[in-house]
Amino acid sequence: MKVAISFIGTNKYLDYLPQYYENIEKYFLPNSEKTILAFTDGDLEDTPDNLKVYHQEHLPWPYITLKRFEIINKARKEIEKNDWFVFIDADALVVAKITEDEFLHRCCGVDTNQVPLFGVHHPCHFLKMPPHNQNPGAFDQNLESEAYVDLSKGMPDYYYQGCFWGGKVPPVLSMIDELEGRVNRDLEKDVVALWHDESHINRYFLDREFDVHTFGPEYAYPEVFDEYCNFEPKIVHLAKDNSKYQQ
């Protein structure tokens, strides 16, 4: 099985790449052929054969995250060589073994081979932390945005975090194309979705709920809320300061 994994690390976020790469090689899908797609404005020399570098200028906030679908599409030809595409935030670290069986075949009793896309249950939504503990939660309510979510029939069961998502190739490329278009059409109207790319992902997944496998919050474990988490981490969203997971 071939898997492309996207790392977007411009400016200081490039510093995360060495351990990000090392832990993916050690823990994530250990029996698969993995290619890391690194989008960065930094200089990388003597990189491993399975790390492909794409130049990406640093964009001011929030465009560096909002434009990530457009950024990822720079590596489209490389992604098309793979069976699966996975996006993992630069400051998210795989800390426990995630096997092919666990990731692709069975999780929570769902056969993900029949589901083309996946996302991760936002841990703060899982823990019912503000703003997720009341309507409208974190769902975009701006009618002018293509990320708008209609809540007239009630709140969805899941709110997805944008740090970990992906799917089979080519369905995931169709998702990337569509969300790139939605973001750019919003920007033409001077509209920015509430939580940027994450808001667009949520709208896309909610419209296709039967095509999306939802991984539990342990795949987006928030280190800053460690004391509130009653689950063991698989992938940790690192604290910006004094992270115990960084070497």
Give the global pTM: 0.95
Domains annotated for the chain, with CATH where assigned, are: 2-237 (3.90.550.10)
Question: 11 with 28: CB under 8 angstroms?
Answer: no
Q: How many helices (H) and strands (E) does the chain have?
A: 8, 12
Q: pLDDT (tens digit, 0 to 9) for every residue of the chain, 247 residues total?
A: 999 999 999 999 999 999 999 999 999 999 999 999 999 999 998 999 999 999 999 999 999 999 999 999 999 999 999 999 999 999 999 999 999 998 876 544 555 567 999 999 999 999 999 999 999 999 999 999 999 999 999 999 999 999 999 999 999 999 999 999 999 999 999 999 999 999 999 999 999 999 999 999 999 999 999 999 999 999 999 998 878 887 5
Please report the DSSP string for 172-230 in residue order: HHHHHHHHHHHHHHHHHTT---TTTHHHHHHHHHHTTGGGEEEE-GGGGEEGGGGGG--
